[in-house]
Every structure is written in structure tokens, then in C-alpha cells.
Amino acid sequence: MNRHLLGLEYCSREEIESIIQTGFSFKEVLSRPIPKVPTLRGKTIVNLFFENSTRTRISFELAQKRLSADTVNFSVAGSSVAKGESLRDTIRNIEAMKIDMVVVRHKSPGVPCFLTECTDAVIINAGDGLHEHPTQGLLDIMTLQEKLGSVEGLKVVIVGDILHSRVARSNIYGLQKLGAKVALCGPPTLIPVKAEQWGVEIFYDIGDAIRWGDVLNILRIQLERQSAGLFPSRREYTQRFGVTLEKLRRVDKEITIMHPGPINRGLELEHDLADSEFSVILDQVTNGVALRMAVLYLKSGVPAQE
């Protein structure tokens, strides 16, 4: 088991399975009348978010509280980063206050890895630029296992803005290690040039992708990063790659719809489909808390309870 969680690229199949299995145990804890355990009492965790987040941030905070850890939240706004303090100085000053773990989100790939060289605290990657979002990949796999059983042999299509997606990378590494088949679908401009080196199928037609897959994991079009004009218009993207109930009805099979959020409703995913019986989007969010409890517990070094 790795000491830190930097990305699913660096995790073995056994480590991924162990985290997800522990996630299911914590899901049972969350269903109790008092959904709290003393597992991380005495541990101090800093949430270091240099980028916006709703799901990941709240989910980590809730997971820490459910485990009885002491938590501190850091936001760039209002911190000394705004006065020019370096990342290394920020983390070393925080460490001087005696912390055990750091959950970090940053726009630059590699920041979690860099922090492992600046501090003795355990580092958990909550999303680093275009690199990885390992807890999202793990909670996505947990959600698929919960709904469909094993992911071995399952066909998962990741649809949309693969180019800018850390979620896509973590899903590809995690799913492939557990024996799933992965495909990508989107306009050629939103699929990385060397994507075929990941051992994935590539579709440029959403109909072909739907016929092939059991699961569609639909990514947010990252409108804030589209300044290069990577597709002609939102309307054309929706017509060609937007996932709708009408497109699903053309195939006669059960398809599971996932989305890591936040959703651009009506752009990459039809409004009604997001809330339909095909969708496990809110299950992903629910499982995120249990899965992050598992990561924090397994990385904390706290011995297993008898």
C-alpha cells in the first residue's frame, strides 16, 4: 500500500480493491442512526483547496468529521498565498502546527507529489490540474460495483472533454487495473493525440459508443478552458455528442449513466436523463463520503480494530 494517494496510475489492483472494500464497510457505518466512529480521533487533517470544489471538498470534510478527526480548511482567498507566499512555505508553516494529513486540490499537475517532498504529512490528491482525481475514480468504480457487481469485463465509455479531464485519467487507470474495457468518445479535438496508447477504444460517433458500452461516464465540458475553440458551438456539440434519452432508446439494452459533476445540463447531458432511472449520479456523490473515509483511514496509519 502506498503511503500517499497521488493517483491510480501508481496503485496496484490490490490497493484499489482494498480501498473500495473498506469504502463499502464505511457505507454501512453511514447508514447507522449515529453515523460516526472514533477511528481518527487525535488526527489532524488540513484541506488545502487552491481550486473551486463543491463535491470533493464537502465530501472530504464530512468523511473527516464522520471519522472524528480534527480538520482545518484552507482557501487561497484570505490566505497569505494572496500576499505571494510560496507553496513550499505555506505547507511548511502549516506542518509546523503539527498535522497528520493534507488533502490538496490544485490547478497544477504534480503539486501533491511536490508536497510529499516538503512535509512528512500524508498527502491525498483531491485533483491536480489535468493529471488525476484518484478519489473520483475510486468512487466511480465503487458505484459501478454496487450497481452491477464486478467491473471485470464491463465496457465503460468516457464521453466528452477527455483532453482536460483528470477524472478520465483516474477512471482509465482504475478500471483497466480491475479488468474493465474502456473507450473514449468525443470530438477529435477533445481527445488527446496519444490516447490510443492508453489501450482504449476510441469512438467519434456517440451512437457507436452507446452500442458498444454498458456504462457512459459523461464528463463536463470545461467551458472555462475552451478559449482555443475546440468545438464550433455548444449547439453543435450537443447535437453530435450530447447524451439524450432519445439516443439511448435507439439501443435495446440497459445503460448506466454517470457524471462526476458539476453537470452542464442540456449541453453534455439531457436534463431529464440526469435524473432518470438510468442515472447513478447522486449515488456517486453518496459513495464519495464512504470512499473518502476509507482512503483517510487506510492512509492514516491507524491500526485495524480487532
How many residues touch ligand CP under the rule CB under 6 A: the total is 11
Closest contact distance (angstroms) between CB of 139 and ligand CP is: 9
| Cα 260 from Cα 140, distance rounded (Å) | 8
Does 287 contact ligand CP by CB under 6 A? no
Candidate segments 18-26, 61-69, 72-80, 256-264, binder of ligand CP by CB under 6 A? 256-264
Does 44 contact ligand CP by CB under 6 A? no
Q: Residue 181 or residue 259: which is nearer to ligand CP going by CB?
A: 259
If one counts every other C-beta atom within 10 angstroms of the C-beta of residue 36, the result is 12
Does 54 contact ligand CP by CB under 6 A? yes
Residues of 278-293 as b/e, b for ≥16 C-beta within 10 angstroms?
A: bbbbebbbbbbbbbbb
> What is the helix, strand, coil percentage profile of the chain, to 5?
45, 15, 40
Residues 6 or more apart from 118 whose CB is under 8 A from it?
Answer: 87, 88, 91, 92, 95
Closest contact distance (angstroms) between CB of 125 and ligand CP is: 11
Q: Which of 53, 108, 222, 226 binds ligand CP (CB under 6 A)?
A: 53
Strands (E), 140-255: 155-159, 181-185, 201-203, 215-218
Closest contact distance (angstroms) between CB of 26 and ligand CP is: 19
| Cα 124 from Cα 278, distance rounded (Å) | 31
| Cα 98 from Cα 115, distance rounded (Å) | 15
- Residue 262: cis peptide before it, omega within 30 degrees of 0: yes
Q: Which of 122, 242, 260, 297 binds ligand CP (CB under 6 A)?
A: 260
Q: Which residues in the 98-157 window bind ligand CP by CB under 6 A? A: 127, 133, 136
Does 261 contact ligand CP by CB under 6 A? yes
Q: Residue 118 or residue 216: which is nearer to ligand CP going by CB?
A: 216
Q: Residue 222 or residue 244: which is nearer to ligand CP going by CB?
A: 222
Does 56 contact ligand CP by CB under 6 A? yes
Grid cell 483531491 in the structure block, residue: 126
Q: Residue 54 or residue 86: which is nearer to ligand CP going by CB?
A: 54
Report the interface residues with ligand CP, using CB under 6 A: 53-57, 127, 133, 136, 260-262
